[in-house]
Amino acid sequence: MKNSIFSDNVSMLFTSLVQGLREDLAHPIGLVQIGAIGVTYLIAWLLARILHQYLDKGIEKAKARMRFILSPAHFAKILGYLFWLVLVWFCQVLFKEFKLPDNLLHMTLNLVIALLVIRLASFYIKSTFWSRFVYVVCLAVISLRIFKLWEPTVKLLDSMTIGLGKISISVWGLIEAIIVFILLWAAAGAANRFIAHWLMTSTKLTYSDRTLLQRVIKAATVAVVILITLRAAGIHMTAIAVTGGAVGLGIGVGLQKIGSNLISGIMLLISKPIRQGDMIAFEKSFGGVNWGWIMQMGLNYVQVGTRNGSLLLIPNEVFVTQKIENLSYDDNLVRLKMPIGISYGSDLNKAITLAVQAAMNIDRVLKVPEPKCLVGEFGDSTVNLQLRFWIDDPKNGMANVKDAVLLKIWDSFHANGIEIAFPQRDLHIKSAVPLKILKDDPQPVAKDSTEITGDGEKLPELD
């Protein structure tokens, strides 16, 4: 019974629609509307063509100034639909001002809006599924508006509710919230990209200041989008506080680490103990790597580049709870220390001079401040020296410059008679009893044995 009533209503609406179209087309005002639609389309097409020609001429200059490359033809088509939309809307306002029928203009306005949305979706949405989804939704909305089923459909969806605890939301409210969220999210993303681009061009802000402002603005826009979306869905904050209290507690317990990293990231960006490009050394190695340089800082982790080509993602909490040495906080100068051991018989002053000259002959070693070689201590087997020198490009590696200096010292010491010492031990045997060393064979050993007396005299050795 209900199905028959619904079908009768649809047939009546369709019949009234066809009848209205016939009356509009037969009436002189209907012809005027058709003429206005045609003229507005022609004007919009001419404006889009002029814009297309202008973009084709200055496309290289536009590419140099814009962040993303736009197709002039596609951009002109979008603006053409936009021009047509504005002109049709203006004609509709004029018809309403003079109290003239505007049914055809109203239908055309809805159609142009749908075409503009479809064109934008096809340009910005790369997924085929989602672009087709937008196309189907726009086609359904236009069909409902043309057949005057839009208001009955809205009332039907608004009467259907979904309950979640003390939160109650209608299906239509949920649809509105989703649409509002998508539009606001896209607008917030575009605004964040624009702000990030503007901050990157500012020379008065440091990297940490720019990153902090970007993260704060992004968090604020996300919060605003969520609040407006909930408001559009008709959900009050009191209901969310009551229903989401227990859920929020459970999520908070599970997200302790994320919260800790977030707070640590904000502290790092405000206090600035590390910055982009700084060389840092870790107290505990990560993946066998003890040092690296800061590539990017975020609210959850820091990207650290290494000499082996890997990228470390280190949580912000590590930089607060562990000992981190910033090798280039004020500048890129890094002092390297190399231990050297020479024998006691070598010329100490000459060895110091040769070590300093060897370091000076390496291109990456700075001449100012000049290298120094200091006497560290007199060890058991060696005189321990320590060569100290400076470099200003630690990102290019520190082990390789040490290797070059050591090879230079090796060649210089060997050429000048400086002996690089190694541990040596003297063994003294003290005994009052003669020690006999016997050969392991079945023959008598009385004549073939060797005796070492306490006075150090040796008897005949074994053959």
Per DSSP, the residues of 41-80 read HHHHHHHHHHHHHHHHHTHHHHHHHSSS---HHHHHHHHH
In a domain, 372, yes or no: yes
Q: Token digits for 160?
A: 């259907």
**Digit-coded pLDDT (tens) for 328-381:** 777 778 889 999 999 888 899 999 999 999 999 999 999 988 999 999 898 888
Q: What percent of the chain has pLDDT over 70?
A: 75
**96 and 31 belong to one structural domain:** yes
State yes or no: cis peptide before 315, omega within 30 of 0.
Answer: no
What is the band of 462 on the pLDDT scale with cuts at 50, 70, 90? very low
DSSP string computed for 340-362: EEE-TTS-HHHHHHHHHHHHHTS
Q: Are residues 443 and 366 in the same domain?
A: no
Q: Does the pLDDT of residue 312 top 70, yes or no?
A: yes
- Compute CA distances 293 → 325, 326, 396, 417, whole Å: 11, 9, 11, 41
In a domain, 129, yes or no: yes
Report, as an integer, the average pLDDT of 42-49: 89
Q: Taking the CB of residue 279, how many other CB atoms lie within 10 A of it?
A: 20
The residue among 317 and 146 whose pLDDT is bigger is 317
Are 100 and 128 in the same domain?
Answer: yes
* pLDDT classification of 459: cutoffs 50, 70, 90: very low
pLDDT for 453 equals 46
The pLDDT of residue 17 is 55
Which of the given ranges, 93-97, 202-206, 302-306, 350-354, has the highest pLDDT on average? Answer: 350-354
Q: Which of 62-71, 152-161, 319-328, 366-375 has the lowest mean pLDDT?
A: 62-71
Same domain, 33 and 107: yes
Note whether 364 and 391 are within 8 A (CB).
Answer: yes
Do residue 57 and residue 83 come from a single domain? yes
396 pLDDT above the threshold of 90: no
Tens-digit pLDDT profile for residues 140-153: 887 777 666 778 88
d(CA 65, CA 387): 52
Whether 167 maps to a domain, the answer reads no
**What's phi and psi for 424, nearest 5 deg?**
-135, 150
Reading the block at residue 271, the tokens are: 């206090």
Same-domain check for residues 204 and 293: no
Q: How far apart are CA 319 and CA 295, in angstroms?
A: 15
Write down the pLDDT at residue 106. 81
Other C-beta atoms lying within 10 Å of the C-beta of residue 304: 23
Q: What is the CATH number of the domain that holds 302?
A: 2.30.30
Alpha-carbon gap, residue 278 to 327, rounded angstroms: 7
57 and 131 together in one domain: yes
What lies within 8 Å, CB to CB, of 69 at 6+ separation is 63
Number of independent structural domains in the chain: 5
Confidence of residue 195 (pLDDT cuts 50, 70, 90): confident
User: Does the structure show a pLDDT above 70 at 43?
Assistant: yes
Strand-pair partners of 385: 340, 375
pLDDT band (50, 70, 90) for residue 447:
very low
Task: Please identify, among 148, 169, 190, the residue that sits at the C-terminal boundary of a domain.
Answer: 148
Q: What pLDDT digit, counting tens, does each position of 216-234 carry?
A: 888 888 888 888 887 777 7
Asked if residue 155 is part of any domain, the answer here is no
Region 317-335: what's the mean pLDDT?
Answer: 82
CB 341 within 8 A of CB 383: yes
Query: Whole-angstrom Cα distance, residue 104 to residue 36?
Result: 10
Tokens describing residue 185: 């999210």
Instruction: Annotate 213-260 with three-state secondary structure.
Output: HHHHHHHHHHHHHHHHHHHHCCCCHHHHHHHHHHHHHHHHHHCHHHHH
Same domain? 40 vs 119: yes
Angle between helices 207-232 and 171-200 (to 10 degrees): 170
Q: What is the pLDDT of residue 373?
A: 93
Q: What tokens appear for 289 in the block?
A: 């790597």
- Same domain, yes or no: 296 and 351: no
Residue at which a domain ends, from 264, 288, 309? 264
**Within a domain: 1:** no
pLDDT value for 405? 93
Average pLDDT over residues 148-174: 76
Residues 190, 225, single domain; the answer is yes
SS3 breakdown of the chain: % helix, strand, coil, rounded to 5? 60, 15, 25
Between residues 36 and 455, the one the model is more confident about: 36
CATH number of 356's domain: 3.30.70.100
Structure confidence at residue 204 as a pLDDT band (50, 70, 90): confident
Please report which helix (H) or strand (E) contains residue 413, including its range: helix 399-415
Beta carbons of 334 and 394 less than 8 angstroms apart: yes
Query: Is pLDDT at 65 greater than 60 in this prediction?
Result: no
Digit-coded pLDDT (tens) for 277-305:
888 888 777 777 888 888 888 778 888 88
Asked which of 65-69, 98-102, 127-131 is least confident by mean pLDDT, the reply is 65-69
Range of the structural domain that residue 446 is part of: 428-463
Q: pLDDT band for 64, please (50, 70, 90 cuts).
A: very low
Tell which wins on pLDDT, 326 or 438. 326
Contacts of 90 (CB under 8 A, 6+ apart): none
Q: Pick 3 or 312 by higher pLDDT.
A: 312
Residue 4 has pLDDT above 60, yes or no: no
To which residue do tokens 């020609």 refer?
Answer: 53
Residues 55, 88: one domain?
Answer: yes
Residues 325, 304: contact at Cβ < 8 Å? Answer: no
283 and 349, same structural domain? no
Residue 403, pLDDT score: 92
Domain termination site, one of 240, 264, 288: 264
Q: Which residue did the predictor score with more confidence, 67 or 54? A: 54
Could you tell me if 105 and 36 are in contact, meaning their C-beta atoms sit under 8 angstroms apart? yes
Least confident of 215-229, 246-260, 306-320: 246-260
pLDDT at 463 > cutoff 50: no
Question: Does 120 reside within a domain?
Answer: yes
Which residues, 6 or more positions from 412, have their beta carbon under 8 angstroms from its beta carbon? 354, 355, 357, 358, 418
What does the alpha-carbon distance between residue 304 and residue 308 come to, in Å, rounded to a whole number?
12
Confidence of residue 450 (pLDDT cuts 50, 70, 90): very low
Q: What is the pLDDT of residue 243?
A: 53
Find out whether 308 and 279 touch, Cβ atoms under 8 Å: no
Q: Do the domain assignments include residue 24?
A: yes
Q: Would 94 be classed as within a structural domain?
A: yes
Give the number of other CB atoms < 10 A from CB of residue 108: 23
The pLDDT of residue 461 is: 47
